[in-house]
Structures are given as C-alpha cells and as structure tokens.
Amino acid sequence: MFPRYPSLLFLLILQLLAPANAERLDFNLDVRPLLSDRCFKCHGFDKNTRESELRLDVPEGAFANRDGGQAIVPGKPEESLVWQRITSTDPDDVMPPPDSHLKLNEKEKQLIRQWIAEGAEYKEHWALIAPERPDVPKPVNATVHNPIDAFIAHRLLRDDLKQSPSADNRTLIRRLSLDLRGLPPTPEEVTTFLNDNAPDAYAKLVDRFLADPSYGERMAWPWLNAARYADSNGYQGDGERTMWPWRDWV
C-alpha cells in the first residue's frame, strides 16, 4: 500500500519522528541533559578538551558568528551548523563523530531541532535559579487542608481521577515514619499518636520526626551516594579511609 502513496509514507515518518511532547521545550529539563551528554565534552566549559574553540554550553558561544556561519541560529534550524552537522551523512562531518560512540537517535535530533526552532532559549543551571512560589490552586473539595493537598486535588481533578480514602492513624504514622526517617515507628510512638486526640496531633508528629536525628541521616544518604562515599575502598583495596568526619558532617 505505502509504495503507491509515497507522500503518505513521508508524512507518517515525520509524525513518528516528531517529539512526543508538543509543548514548548524546557532547556534545563529537555535539552541541557542531551547537550551535556553528547556535546559538552568537546564543546563545553573545559578549555583543555574543547574542540575548535566552540562552546555550546553558553549562548555567547553557540550564537557567535564564526567562519562558515553560526553553530545555532535561533528560530532557524536549517541555517544552524549544529543541525547540519548532526544530520549529516558524511562520517567526516557528522557530529558527534562516529568514534565518540555518542550517536544521536532521530528522536533526539528532532528534539534539538524543535528547541532551535523555538528560539534556542538558554537558561542558567537549575541549581542557580531561585525557586518561585507558585499560586496555590483554589480548594476543590473538603479534603484540602494545606497547599500540598490543593495541588494534588487540582491534578486529580484535571486528570479525572478520584482521591484515595484517608488512611487510618496507625497506617498514617507508619507511612510518615518510613518516609521521613526510613524506619518504622516504635510501639510507644504508635500508642502515643493513637491516644492523642488533639486537632494538631499529626502536625506535632511531623515536627517530632523532623527533629529526630534519623531524619537527618535519611536525608544525608542520597547526597553521600551521589558523592560515591564509602567507609572503605572495598574488595582487594580494602584499606582504612579517614573520610568519616565528612560523613558525620553531612
């Protein structure tokens, strides 16, 4: 069927290769990770590994006029050298180069094209952007008791989903303890909470768990894991290490 309708086949391929998300791309969320993984090693901030003195991690480098044109021309993918190079079929011109083993698939290429077509907006790294407090949605039902409830209820309403029934207090304290401390509550803590009929009993429980040293330890472990911390080298090189003061500080 398709050989008789080449135009239909072409449109179908374009549809399949188009980004699944038709909304405007977010540089930090959608584009920076891709450029960082495939491009910044040779075209990033490290001048010792930079090729052709081209930087793609900052707009000043990406938009600069160079011999042969601009790496990125905002709003004009076809005029952008980046687009021309990542879609090239010449092994001497295509980027990333074949020997880097960092090939872009078609979906990733289309994502870069969409970003350039939308104006190639750069943003500071998310860690350097001051957080903004969003407007709290208006309460949609009686289950909304705080701003977090409002956001959840608003999302459930948008997606036509029903909220789960409220958990009983015994389940509630177990979930809270596991979330904040990574440990189940003690029998004494359960009994105290179940016998507390004050309106702010749950709020007081949250404060107690947040003040518990176990909460600090639980929150510290993801950072230690990210830093690849270990008390020893392990395996054959299992020698003594004196990094424990840093662990305790974290």
pLDDT tens per residue across span 174-188: 999 999 999 999 999
Q: How confident is the model over 69-97, as a mean pLDDT? A: 94
- Pair 177, 206 in one domain: yes
Q: Are residues 60 and 138 in the same domain?
A: no
Q: Considering Cα of 142, then 147, then 150, then 156, what sign does the dihedral take?
A: negative
Residue 48's pLDDT band (boundaries 50, 70, 90)?
A: confident
Q: Is residue 221 part of a domain?
A: yes
> Does residue 97 surpass a pLDDT of 60?
yes
- Cα-based angle 220, 35, 108 (whole degrees, multiple of 5): 110
Q: Are residues 159 and 199 in the same domain?
A: no
In a domain, 146, yes or no: yes
**Same domain? 147 vs 158:** yes
Chain centre distance of CA 30: 8
> 99-138 burial string, b = 16+ CB within 10 Å, else e?
eeeeebeeeebbbbbbbbbeebebeeeeeeeeeeeeeebe
| pLDDT of res. 249 | 82
Does 213 share its domain with 153? no
Reference 115, options 10, 40, 34; nearest CA is 34
Residues 183 and 234 in one domain: yes
Taking all residues of the chain, what is their mean pLDDT, rounded to a whole number? 86
- For 120, the token pair is 């190639």
Nearest to 152 by CA among 172, 169, 167, 137: 137
Asked if residue 5 is part of any domain, the answer here is: no
- What pLDDT does 227 receive? 86
The rounded distance, in Å, linking the Cα atoms of 43 and 242 is 37
Does 18 score more than 70 pLDDT?
no
The string of pLDDT tens digits covering residues 122-156 is: 998 888 888 899 999 988 777 788 899 999 999 99
207 and 159 within one domain: no
| Contact status, residue 41 vs residue 54, Cβ threshold 8 Å | no
What is the Cα–Cα distance from 70 to 68, expressed in whole angstroms?
A: 7
Q: Are residues 139 and 175 in the same domain?
A: no
- Give the DSSP letter of residue 44: S
Rounded CA-CA distance 80/86 in Å is 10
162 and 175 inside one domain: no
Average pLDDT in the 218-244 region?
80
pLDDT over 60 (residue 10): no
162 close to 143: Cβ distance less than 8 angstroms: no
Residue 147 covered by a domain = yes
- Claim to verify: residue 225 and residue 149 sit in the same structural domain: no
For residues 70 and 95, state if they share a domain: yes
Alpha carbons 120 and 25: distance in angstroms, whole number = 10
Instruction: Look at the chain and report how many structural domains it folds into.
Output: 3
Range of the domain at 110: 16-127
Residues 159 and 180 in one domain: no
